[in-house]
Chain A
């Protein structure tokens, strides 16, 4: 399958003016992919897509098994694909950064879950598996712009894969399964309709974005746009150092977060604060508290700390809670942040 790719280079992540919350939500997922992705809700023109695509420059490097179509991470035996599992002896690997796999709303089932490799079938009658987007997204980011416009049928496939971490494909005389563990990033404009609760529930974090209204920010935004349009390469070069620093910061935080999780001692007051918040706000299930803890750890690690502070939990709550609270019919969809902060503060 050919890929023509001569688009303009991505606008650098660090050059996007403002939007701190959205940026952080994305970075937290790079620090700990098991946080479970992020849904970004907001109006048009708030740099949602720009930021997601710009993430590519910040992606951490991992040792990827050479030629593995599912990008298995060397050493992560538990999540190897069948090929890697079956291979005796040492697997060769190469250092590759995470990738962003875009799932457009025009996608059909065969491209999402993979299908029979039609060319191979015609030419030599062999039944080979042609890897779909879920296969490519394994150990990477799966990005769906306007996720609320996605066909139900496709949503079901994504949900199944996300729930099990495995994609099962049984069709066209081919039966196949492979690991499909990905960071799900979705963007949507809520005015164009909501997304299904099951899908919403899949997202670890949710953040609402709005336009940057401050005059100085708007000027900055305009100037950077003009500069980028005039010469994208030079513009990216200008931010190269800052980008490299952020990349390093993420890598450090990733290691730190891992250490903290392995060590496993988060402090009793922190754990009970998280429990209190979840009980008090009547969050459904246990996904809320675990995600809140993981997010708080990632926040601490991002700040270069080994210990979680109370503020990390409160900040994490703002990303984790909004879509997990039962929606009361007569209230606005989003929760009032100040009220939430006051509420948590009082606990």
Chain B
């Protein structure tokens, strides 16, 4: 049963963001981020506006294709079935955003921004106007989406993990005790839809007075991560808020509320999209706490609608401050933040869950038929009735129609009926574009020894070497580094040299070595990537001396590491363990781990860029 929007208790910010985007799609979409059970789907679909877009959608259904029924009947080529056209005037719902193909997502987002889309497919050349809102959601622990895609969204809202599922259910049950109450909520939804319609009409008349324009630019100027795309998102959100409150002039309160919605949830995102595993948990790192605090505040539903009630000092500092510029930080600090914070894999109190995964409960195996992925780019002759390209087949058959019709007419009583005669030799199969390449996941032990820094540099060099050839070889790279109780996704899967340079500028090293956590993190990370891009071959390259000396699972770090290694044995990932253990006494732990994980084992006497690059080339 679909829970009414109004029956959903809490998540006021998410609700507001959805309403505002429906009022003013130019805000550029709303993205809800939250773990399973945080109510993403209910929120997206609750109002019953919008069309759900399947995440495996291809271009044919997104921008439309030929209406072959019409073609065969003899009506000529007609365009049909463009999802982007049917959502005109409404909303498109993108649940599990991370499962969408990059090109498809980019097509949807661009169409939304410019108000039209172009089709150049299978006989069609067309430009179609369509104005719609985007309502999207993703689960951050499964997501491998790039920052730039996430950053395209007008408003990003993080949904709190309801620690106690019973509490959530109780709320819902309470809310829906009787049919009468359900009907009440549905009535409220109806009112809300009416309010949205009225606000839509008012939106065109909303005026932004000059002093507030100035304030808006000051806010943007104070905000570190802002580009001009945020100017527009903030502007449109502010206008929508005024319209929502029934005014035709923007007030200062609208501006404050809009910056809360547009800017402050983004701060966290810009630094690290993968960090939201447990956003509400206490963090023992002071710097990080400061960085995370606005988000943590926002995650408490009770406080959401009262931006001025916060007592936290850091929060105060980040509220729009019209007169001072104290909160502007130097760009150096930004860089350090980007690398050092946020991306951390908070493992502290999450042991139970991680343990499950070490044992390997094999969560979420949503694979769709393996054969036919990739976009159709063209068609070729075939004699098998498999993955047939109808357009290509008709194309092939077209020139023969007159002759075939004549033959058919002499042989058959069914003369003169307009139809298309297709023979087996006309058959064309789809030719799909695959981007097969290697995805190399480096797992680097950045702990302890004096040489950690040197190894880090060698690996960075290797990564740049690989990426500078990436567009030829279609390789992608990710780097997971672990040290001192932390596992960092230092570089998410990418083929961009640019991004690698930005993200790897500075990486910390030193401390102890939590190998068990690192291996299980790597396994999960690869799994979630495999769901999205099935074409790629994954290779895990693990660099360590094998000397596990920290674990949050038990006080037996080496045993835990072995357990974690064993779970890798059953995966279909290629694994290479590179051991650089040095010193007079060698424990040979890395070799044991490699055997348990069914990995290729390489021992090296010192790590260098040349050696690593060579090794990696050989692996591929």
Residues on A facing B (Cβ under 8 Å): 1-8, 43-47, 49, 102-112, 115-116, 118-119, 121-122, 124-127, 130, 133, 145-146, 149, 151-154, 172-173, 189-197, 210-213, 215, 218-219, 221-223, 225-226, 229-230, 327, 329-330, 332-333
With a cutoff of 8 Å between Cβ atoms, the chain A residues found around residue B228 in the complex are 45-47, 211-212, 218, 221
| Whole-angstrom distance between the Cβ of B536 and the nearest chain A Cβ | 13
| Whole-angstrom distance between the Cβ of A328 and the nearest chain B Cβ | 9
With a cutoff of 8 Å between Cβ atoms, the chain B residues found around residue A133 in the complex are 120, 125
Question: Does B497 contact A194, Cβ atoms closer than 8 Å?
Answer: yes
Question: Does A149 contact B106, Cβ atoms closer than 8 Å?
Answer: yes
Residues on B facing A (Cβ under 8 Å): 26, 59, 62-63, 74, 76-77, 79, 102-103, 106-107, 110, 114-129, 146-149, 151-152, 204, 208, 213-214, 216-218, 220-221, 226-232, 235, 375-378, 391, 394-396, 398-403, 420, 431, 433, 435, 461, 464-465, 468, 470-472, 494-499, 501
Task: Tell me whether chain A's interface is mostly helix, strand or loop, or mixed.
Answer: loop
| Whole-angstrom distance between the Cβ of B317 and the nearest chain A Cβ | 21
Known contacts A1-B124, A108-B376, A225-B232; A49 and B148 CB within 8 A of each other: no
Q: What separation, in Å, do the CA atoms of A243 and B250 have in the docked complex?
A: 33
Question: Does B399 contact A153, Cβ atoms closer than 8 Å?
Answer: no
Known contacts A196-B471, A221-B228; A106 and B59 CB within 8 A of each other: yes
Which of B124, B129, B495, B496 is within 8 Å of A111, CB to CB? B124
Question: Does A7 contact B498, Cβ atoms closer than 8 Å?
Answer: no
Question: Looking across the interface, which residue of chain B has its beta carbon closest to that of A131?
Answer: B125
Known contacts A109-B377, A194-B470; A45 and B123 CB within 8 A of each other: no
| Whole-angstrom distance between the Cβ of A24 and the nearest chain B Cβ | 19
Which of A5, A124, A192, A195 is within 8 Å of B402, CB to CB? A124
Question: Does A225 contact B59, Cβ atoms closer than 8 Å?
Answer: no
With a cutoff of 8 Å between Cβ atoms, the chain B residues found around residue A195 in the complex are 471
| Whole-angstrom distance between the Cβ of A284 and the nearest chain B Cβ | 15
Which of A6, A108, A190 is within 8 Å of B120, CB to CB? A108
Q: A111-B123, A218-B221 are in contact. List 14 more A-B contacts (CB 8 A).
A: A1-B125, A43-B229, A45-B229, A49-B114, A104-B120, A106-B103, A118-B123, A121-B398, A145-B110, A153-B433, A192-B102, A192-B106, A192-B496, A193-B494
Q: What separation, in Å, do the CA atoms of A148 and B302 have in the docked complex?
A: 44
Question: Looking across the interface, which residue of chain A has its beta carbon closest to that of B79?
Answer: A2
With a cutoff of 8 Å between Cβ atoms, the chain A residues found around residue B495 in the complex are 193-194
Which of B63, B377, B431, B472 is within 8 Å of A196, CB to CB? B472
Q: What separation, in Å, do the CA atoms of A221 and B375 have in the docked complex?
A: 38
| Whole-angstrom distance between the Cβ of B218 and the nearest chain A Cβ | 7
With a cutoff of 8 Å between Cβ atoms, the chain B residues found around residue A192 in the complex are 102, 106, 146, 148-149, 496
Q: What separation, in Å, do the CA atoms of A125 and B126 have in the docked complex?
A: 25
With a cutoff of 8 Å between Cβ atoms, the chain A residues found around residue B221 in the complex are 213, 215, 218
Q: What separation, in Å, do the CA atoms of A7 and B114 have in the docked complex?
A: 9
With a cutoff of 8 Å between Cβ atoms, the chain B residues found around residue A222 in the complex are 213, 216-217, 231, 235
A-B contact pairs, 26 of them (CB 8 A): A4-B128, A7-B127, A45-B228, A105-B107, A106-B59, A106-B118, A106-B119, A108-B378, A109-B377, A116-B395, A116-B399, A118-B394, A121-B399, A122-B401, A126-B399, A146-B110, A151-B375, A172-B399, A173-B399, A192-B102, A211-B228, A211-B229, A215-B218, A218-B217, A218-B221, A333-B497
With a cutoff of 8 Å between Cβ atoms, the chain B residues found around residue A108 in the complex are 120-122, 376-378
Question: Does B115 contact A8, Cβ atoms closer than 8 Å?
Answer: yes
Which of B117, B121, B220, B391 is within 8 Å of A107, CB to CB? B121
Which of B152, B216, B377, B395 is within 8 Å of A115, CB to CB? B395
Question: Does A118 contact B398, Cβ atoms closer than 8 Å?
Answer: yes
Q: What separation, in Å, do the CA atoms of A50 and B489 have in the docked complex?
A: 35
With a cutoff of 8 Å between Cβ atoms, the chain B residues found around residue A125 in the complex are 399-403
9 closest cross-chain pairs (CB), A and B? A45-B229, A121-B398, A125-B402, A211-B227, A111-B120, A107-B120, A109-B378, A106-B59, A190-B498
Question: Looking across the interface, which residue of chain B has its beta carbon closest to that of A47?
Answer: B228
